Amino acid sequence: MISIDTLTVRFGGIRALDGLDAQLTAPICGLIGPNGAGKTTLVNVLSGFVRPYSGAVALNGVALSGLSPRRRVGLGLRRTFQQELVVDELTAVENVQAIADHVSATRQSGRREVTVALDFVGLGERRDVLGRQLNLYERRMVEIAKTLIGRPKVILMDEPGAGLNESETDRLRRLLAEIPQAFDTQLVLIDHDAELIASVCIDTLVLDFGKRLALGPTRAVLDDPAVRRAYLGRE
């Protein structure tokens, strides 16, 4: 569970987040809002890359404020980035193993986790292919596999569906839906694809200008007139 308590983030004169309160409890939560609404900023605050101006965040009741990104990884927080970070000169398995070297309990359990994660995302047979020879979808799968290592408690994914075609989005959707049960973790999903959000997210938080516009069961949130107005004219 993620708790967000009157969180404000300022960049100069801009309030990227503005007194945000929210509790994310569902196994899969959507995080949506127009461009610039503050979604990535929230992920950056949770993962420790941006320091808030005021307010606090917690993971399963443990206060995160002031902890380094590395400590937060130790507490079970994982994230993907809007720009992916697959290393071209390493194979798929080496990219994922590099994470296991830091977060898995032992070398042996690390190797096992890497195999489980690669099989889970469908890259079992592509494990020895170099990063630069993987296509966009496969690279995205490497990024997701990295988040599954080391018993994650919460995984934050920043637009994992961006740039994927319809059949790839479909495969992604089925994969994401299975993650909470398969890895005993919570998933927070940012995406601009309302269909993807509607089909996998139980609850959804909508941000607009750094404020909470809506939070609740995804279908009800997407049908909320205030949410529809926020998207009209700006997308």
Ligand X SMILES: Nc1ncnc2c1ncn2[C@@H]1O[C@H](COP(=O)(O)OP(=O)(O)OP(=O)(O)O)[C@@H](O)[C@H]1O
Contact between 79 and ligand X per CB under 6 A: no
With respect to Mg ion, which residue has the nearer C-beta, 83 or 165? 83
Whether 179 and 148 have beta carbons less than 8 Å apart is answered as yes
Q: Which of 20, 24, 40, 100 binds ligand X (CB under 6 A)?
A: 40
Q: Which of 2, 24, 26, 41 binds ligand X (CB under 6 A)?
A: 41
- How many C-beta atoms lie closer than 10 Å to residue 53's C-beta? 14
Contact between 110 and ligand X per CB under 6 A: no
Whether 218 and 202 have beta carbons less than 8 Å apart is answered as yes
The b-or-e profile of 127-156 (16+ CB within 10 A means b, else e) is beeebeebeebbbbbbbbbbbbbbebbbbb
Q: Which of 16, 103, 154, 200 binds ligand X (CB under 6 A)?
A: 16
Contact between 160 and ligand X per CB under 6 A: no
11 touches which of ligand X, Mg ion, none (CB within 5 to 8 A by kind)?
Answer: ligand X
Q: Which of 30, 38, 55, 161 binds ligand X (CB under 6 A)?
A: 38
3-class DSSP assignment, residue 9? strand
DSSP letter at 60? T
For the record, the structure tokens of 203 come out as 């609850």
| Smallest distance from ligand X to CB 87, Å | 24
Contact between 161 and ligand X per CB under 6 A: no
CA distance 169 to 92: 20
Piece of the chain touching ligand X by CB under 6 A; list 39-47, 66-74, 87-95, 169-177: 39-47
Q: Kindly list the residues in this chain that would bind ligand X in the complex (CB under 6 A).
A: 11, 14, 16, 33, 35-41
